Amino acid sequence: MQILFTSVSETLQAFAKDPQWRLEGQLGFIAVLHTWSQSLMDHFHLHCLIPAGALSFKKDRWISAKESFLFRIESLAKAFKNCYLQKLQTAYQTEELIFPGNTAQYQSQQEFEKLLQSLSKLQWIAYAKRPFAGP
């Protein structure tokens, strides 16, 4: 789970620093781990509650986001995918991963590389809802 939380945090903070999103500050957020889908199937994902803005790096002012969105969701999904897969690859190379049960086949470097290739070809989805009471 550390890879999941770290990838989300690093991706969100990178976007908050990037001038194209007009924040250029430190983002705060709360992340909650969900492990099951509504049908009780394994479905590990995070729900993040993010304020509509960031604290300036000098910590002297609040920088509000655009009214329509915080970050472009397609860009966020792509950046998260790249970050997550890089961390997964690193964890494999440093033998930090374990492969119990159904995942045992991925202990083989060839099978793990196939897994990474298949995951990198997929479009990953991030979902965002409008703020509860406005930004």
pLDDT for 93: 97
Domain that holds residue 15: 2-121
Q: What total number of domains does the chain contain?
A: 1
Is residue 37 in a domain? yes
Is residue 78 in a domain? yes
Mean pLDDT by 10 residues, the chain (135 residues): 94 96 93 84 88 93 86 94 97 96 95 97 90 62
Q: Which helix (H) or strand (E) holds 35?
A: strand 30-36
Is residue 97 in a domain? yes
Is residue 66 in a domain? yes
Is residue 131 in a domain? no
> pTM for the complete prediction?
0.88
pLDDT for 43: 82
Residue 7: strand, helix, or coil: helix
Is residue 130 in a domain? no
The CA distance from 48 to 125, in Å, is: 14
Q: What DSSP designation does 65 have? A: P
pLDDT for 134: 58
Is residue 127 in a domain? no
